[in-house]
Chains A and B, each alone.
Chain A
């Protein structure tokens, strides 16, 4: 049945057709909006400190975006502003299409925040705390949803325990449960795995992936490059209040990643031979290793040339290793620029 036939069939009932047309209209005309849109955002604290400088950032629906940056770079300030905890100095921020100042209710309803610090009420029970969060965000009680969240986070057995009796890892999960209690479209995780053991960290990554599968947009800040490398679709790097880079993770790796070729020599060299002087080659202290660095993006004729030259010079090697730089090295390179 084509659309015309369908419309003809539906025309028997005018209201239905109107609804049907409205739906088509809606789908065609509504531009795909980013879930978070930050434009020319500045933040100046009362003491004159400029925490954020002209931030522009779009985060698409359903992606995992990692915000990397050294301590004090402005990650938490940026999140605090988007979530409504800190005021904007100038600029515009939209969440789920709503201006966070003018339409703060709709904007905030769509956001869940897991802050960096473990802020909890000691005397409240797990169940009480999560139910409180749901109510606070304007949602009617839904015990079945809270049950699901607590089970997903392995907190179900602890639902009647007071928060002060929980371990640090459990408190961290409780913070996540509170953030998910009102079924947010966007989830902020500010350093979610700080001080969390390796096993729990893996569980958390798994949970984040599941959330993404359900269409939740996730923004995480982290110190752990490993985390960004493992999870993120896109990566933004913030340094001294400025976003210095936003890139697809894979592209970032290939664009900025350096490759290294290490040649273990049979006989040590005292100096780098003159024929290699123009190549990016270094010699290890003991003279047994030649290290050649190159951009992984470039055509790799350089390696062949290097090996040919070594052959011509009768320099023999017993082993070759190549390795790609990790996100961590890229990151350190960026923030030290």
Chain B
């Protein structure tokens, strides 16, 4: 195991985060705060409770998930896309590092950043809304698992993308709608029956539902299913990354 190599990649990526502190931390925190102000305090005060949870508190898990997914994808995809774009990838490809080590470095750093950001957003939310965490262990487990899964997904996007447009297209066109329709702002029960069924095909529903269960003990689907689905996505992304390195897809000609 080339631990120095993993550390070099990890530290390099974390240094990139420190250099771009405004973009990586401040902007998601500000945008999430705006959601809390608008939906939590302004509109939320006129909304009824959902499952005996105040509306402001209800949307917290979903909003944290939204940032977590978007940031995991963008951190990891940008992290591997930039060396490809600038050509510095040659060094990683010629170094004595296995693909597991490359992934540990890049995805590890992206996931770390997302988890840090998720925690910061949770703390920021406390300024606007009062909430409890019923199952802190599971809350953190969901946070970490989701960060890793979507960082792996972002890594795949970063390898697949051959232009900046493609880098943005999946987060914007696919992930954002899935999060908004995945029960961030409402409980799936509130939808007509047909749409409830449709929603079950949205993977983000399981993430948000499980995460919300960790906070308040209530969920749209059983928490066991949420954990299972999260692990399923994680495995799928791992297989994707394994295939990329096995075939050299868009990395080695």
- Interface set of A (CB-CB < 8 Å, partner B): 45-46, 80, 83-87, 104-109, 111, 113, 115, 117, 119-124, 128, 131-140, 178
Contact = CB atoms under 8 A, between A and B. Distances in A.
Interface in B40-81: none
A141 B94 CA distance: 19
B91 A178 contact: yes
A111 B95 CA distance: 9
A132 B8 contact: yes
Interface of B: 2, 4-5, 7-9, 11-12, 15-16, 19, 86-88, 90-98, 248, 252-253
B2 A121 contact: no
Contacts of B86: 119-122
B88 A119 contact: yes
Given A85-B252, A105-B96, A111-B94, A135 B88 contact: no
A46 B253 contact: yes
**Residue of A132, A136, A178 contacting most chain B CB atoms (<10 Å):** A136
Contacts of B95: 108, 136-138
B94 A135 contact: no
A138 B4 contact: yes
A211 B248 CA distance: 34
**Residue of A122, A131, A138, A178 contacting most chain B CB atoms (<10 Å):** A138
Contacts of B94: 83-85, 108, 111, 113
27 contacts: A84-B93, A84-B94, A87-B252, A87-B253, A106-B96, A108-B94, A109-B96, A115-B90, A119-B88, A119-B91, A120-B86, A122-B86, A124-B12, A128-B15, A131-B8, A132-B11, A133-B8, A135-B7, A135-B8, A135-B11, A136-B5, A136-B95, A137-B4, A138-B4, A138-B95, A139-B4, A178-B91
B96 A119 contact: no
Contacts of A124: 12, 15
Contacts of A128: 12, 15
Contacts of B19: 123
Given A45-B253, A128-B15, A136-B8, A105 B2 contact: yes
A119 B5 contact: no
Contact of A119 (B2, B90, B248, B252): B90
Interface SS of B by simple majority: helix
Given A117-B87, A119-B87, A119-B88, A136 B9 contact: yes
Nearest to A83: B94
Contacts of A132: 8, 11-12
A142 B96 CA distance: 18
Contacts of A80: 253
Given A115-B90, A120-B88, A86 B8 contact: no
Given A105-B96, A123-B19, A133-B8, 5 more contacts: A85-B90, A105-B98, A113-B94, A134-B4, A138-B5
Nearest to B89: A119
What 3 pairs between A and B have smallest CB-CB spacing? A135-B8, A119-B87, A105-B96
**Residue of B16, B86, B95 contacting most chain A CB atoms (<10 Å):** B95
Nearest to B3: A138
A242 B200 CA distance: 59
Contacts of A139: 4
Contacts of A111: 94
Contacts of A135: 4-5, 7-8, 11
Given A46-B253, A86-B252, A119-B86, A133 B91 contact: yes
A106 B96 CA distance: 7
Nearest to A111: B94
Nearest to B102: A136
B102 to A, nearest CB: 10
A186 to B, nearest CB: 12
B253 A136 contact: no
A55 B148 CA distance: 44
Contacts of B7: 135
A122 B4 CA distance: 23
Contacts of B98: 105
A43 to B, nearest CB: 9
B252 A108 contact: no
A113 B90 contact: yes
Contacts of A134: 4, 8
A138 B9 CA distance: 11
Nearest to A106: B96
B5 A137 contact: yes
B5 to A, nearest CB: 5
